[in-house]
Structure formats: C-alpha cells, structure tokens
C-alpha cells in the first residue's frame, strides 16, 4: 500500500473517531444520555399580540364570579348558568367559560352580585384597641392590625370593648355575619374573666341560674372557676350579644372585671395565634361556621 493510500486511510479513521463524539466531547453509545445541566434553557418569547391576553387577564370566569359571591360552588354554578339563572349586563348567559369584565353587572336570579372574594380573618385583639373602622379622636383601632391583610373591605363580627382582649373575626360575608351575631344561633363565646376579688360560690350559683339585668333576662350558658387559678378567675360562656354584657353581669353582683379575654368564639380558638396577630381561617374552620 502506498504512503498516499495510508495517509488517506488515516484521515478517514481520524474523521470516524471525531464523528463518534458529540458536541459535548463525549463518546456516543447506545446508553448515552446528555447531562441535562449542559442543556441551555430557552424561555419562550411572549406573543406580540398581547391585547387579547390582557383582556382575558382582567376578566374572571362567570362560574368563579358566582362562587366568590357565596352563592354556591363553581361546579354548581355551571349547572345554574346552563339553566339560565345568570345574566351579565341584562343578557342571559349560558356559555361555559364566559369571562366577566370589571365593569359588568352580574345578576343571579335577578339579584346583583358583588365581585369581591369573601375573606375571613381571625385576630387575637390586644388591649387599648377599639372595635371600629376608624376613630375621629385618633385612637388605635382594630383595623390598624388587620387592614393590610386583604385588599377587600372587611368588617368586625360583633364588638370587643377597648379593654377586652381576645378573639375577633373579620369578614365581608354579610350572611355569615348575620348568622354569627344573631342570638337564635347560640354562637358560643367563652371568656376568661379576672375579678377584683374572689367570686363567692353563692354568687356563682346565682349567675348560673340566670337573672334579670336592666329589665331583660340574662342567660348564662356555663360558668365555673378556672382550674388551678384563684377563685377570682372565672370562665363564663354566653351567647348574648348585648354590649359589655360580661362586665355588667359581674357588676350586678358587686364585682369589678379587672381583665377580660375572649378565648373561644364560634368554635374558633386562640391556639398558635399570639396577641396582636391575625390569620386567615382554614377551610375546615370555615366549613364549620357555615354549618352553624
């Protein structure tokens, strides 16, 4: 074989060897897999025509809109939509996936719906905050503590006076607020009261037996001494929504409430909720409240 033939064959062998390597310099074989760390990630460029995307972004599906209004679940809303129960700007909508725009007027069975997402926030109220939306005298309000929790406008369910601490619920769900504040639903409220002196057993029994206060009957669901504490520390459970009712009960029998803390409200507790902090209700807690 001539030198020219040998050199030519050598070049071919060299080309074969080089072609057996991939662009990362690794020899090819049937079990070879490219290291994913060596592969560049390319982001998909956004569509030039964003007008349609922006329009969809601003809208909200009709079934979600109805669900957010507290009427029913999204799945149930689909059934009602198909049946013609919903209208937008006066027109019956039966289209699944219809996008409601911010300025649209949505009605369900002829009643206008509010687009706000329902919010449920629980606060462990500290002392020296008043239960009001704002105060003309510049005093601290509970809204100073929960105002940044949501963009929706929420309201306190019931009241706690300035000196009283403990659980306070905030929501924009009007139906639930009515339910939790109406005496007929017997919503449980448990208070830990610290008195200026020991509560006599005879007075405790009188309170437990119910009595007339300011011309109205007071019904106390339960009352007892706090276990392991002095006889001046009392646990009292009521469902009345009368203003300052716990303080008035003890004052009626000659006692002054030094400290008052609401530790349970409608089954909600202060567990893992420090004083001055707030949190959103869990789905389980919300489901419980709706069954009251």
Q: Give dist(CA 278, CA 272) in Å, integer.
A: 10
pLDDT of residue 8: 52
Contact 238, 247 (CB under 8 A): no
Architecture, CATH, for domain 188-265: 2-Layer Sandwich (3.30)
Query: Which class does domain 54-112 fall in?
Result: alpha beta
Q: Where are the alpha helices (DSSP H) in the chain?
A: 3-19, 51-58, 62-68, 74-82, 143-146, 174-181, 201-208, 245-252, 283-290
Q: In the numeric block, which tokens belong to residue 86?
A: 């919903």
pLDDT of residue 175: 80
Q: CATH 3.30.2350.10 occupies which residues in the chain?
A: 188-265
Contact 275, 160 (CB under 8 A): no
Question: Between 174-181 and 283-290, two packed helices, what is the crossing angle to 10 degrees?
Answer: 60
Q: Give dist(CA 219, CA 76) in Å, integer.
A: 41
Question: Could you tell me the pTM of the whole model?
Answer: 0.65
Contact 247, 254 (CB under 8 A): no
Q: In the numeric block, which tokens belong to residue 242?
A: 């009368």
Is it true that domain 116-185+270-292 has CATH number 3.40.50.300? Answer: no
92-130 burial by CB neighbour count: b if 16+ within 10 A, else e?
ebeeeebbbeeebebebeeeebeebbbbbbbbbbeeebb
Contacts of 219 (CB under 8 A, 6+ apart): 210, 238, 239, 240
pLDDT of residue 152: 84
Which positions of the chain have pLDDT values less than 70? 1-58, 70, 115
Residue carrying the six token digits 């149930």: 76
pLDDT of residue 50: 46
Q: In the numeric block, which tokens belong to residue 182?
A: 């109406």
Q: Active site includes 144?
A: no
Condensed to tens digits (0 to 9), the pLDDT of residues 150-184 reads 988 899 998 999 999 999 999 988 888 888 988 78
Q: CATH 3.30.70.580 occupies which residues in the chain?
A: 116-185+270-292
Q: Which of 109, 134, 135, 161 is catalytic?
A: 161
pLDDT of residue 51: 43
pLDDT of residue 281: 96
pLDDT of residue 75: 86
pLDDT of residue 59: 82
- Helix, strand, coil share (%) of the chain residues, nearest 5: 30, 25, 45
223 three-state secondary structure: strand
């Amino acid at each position: 074989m001539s030198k020219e033939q040998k050199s030519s064959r050598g070049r071919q062998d060299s080309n074969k060897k080089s072609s057996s390597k991939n662009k990362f310099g690794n020899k090819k074989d049937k079990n070879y897999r490219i290291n994913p760390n060596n592969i560049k990630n390319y982001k998909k460029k956004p569509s030039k025509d964003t007008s349609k995307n922006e329009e969809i972004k601003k809208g909200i599906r009709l079934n979600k809109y109805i669900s957010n209004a507290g009427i029913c679940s999204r799945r149930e809303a689909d059934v009602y939509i198909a049946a013609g129960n919903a209208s937008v700007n006066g027109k019956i909508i039966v289209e699944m996936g219809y996008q409601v725009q911010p300025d649209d007027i949505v009605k369900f069975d002829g009643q206008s719906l509010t687009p706000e997402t329902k919010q449920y926030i629980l606060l462990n109220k500290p002392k020296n905050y008043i239960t009001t939306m704002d105060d003309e005298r510049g005093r601290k309000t509970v809204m100073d503590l929960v105002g940044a929790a949501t963009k929706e406008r929420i309201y306190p369910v019931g009241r706690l006076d300035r000196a009283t601490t403990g659980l306070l619920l905030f929501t924009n769900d009007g139906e639930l607020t009515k339910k939790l504040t109406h005496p007929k639903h017997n919503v449980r409220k448990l208070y830990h009261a610290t008195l200026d002196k020991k509560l006599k057993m005879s007075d405790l029994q009188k309170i437990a037996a119910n009595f007339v206060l300011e011309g109205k009957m007071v019904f106390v669901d339960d009352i007892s001494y706090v276990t392991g504490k002095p006889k001046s520390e009392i646990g009292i459970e009521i469902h009345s929504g009368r203003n300052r009712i716990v303080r008035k009960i003890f004052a009626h029998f000659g006692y002054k409430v030094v400290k008052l803390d609401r530790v349970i409200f409608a089954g909600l507790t202060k567990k893992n909720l420090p004083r001055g902090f707030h949190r959103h209700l869990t789905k389980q807690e919300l489901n419980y409240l709706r069954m009251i």
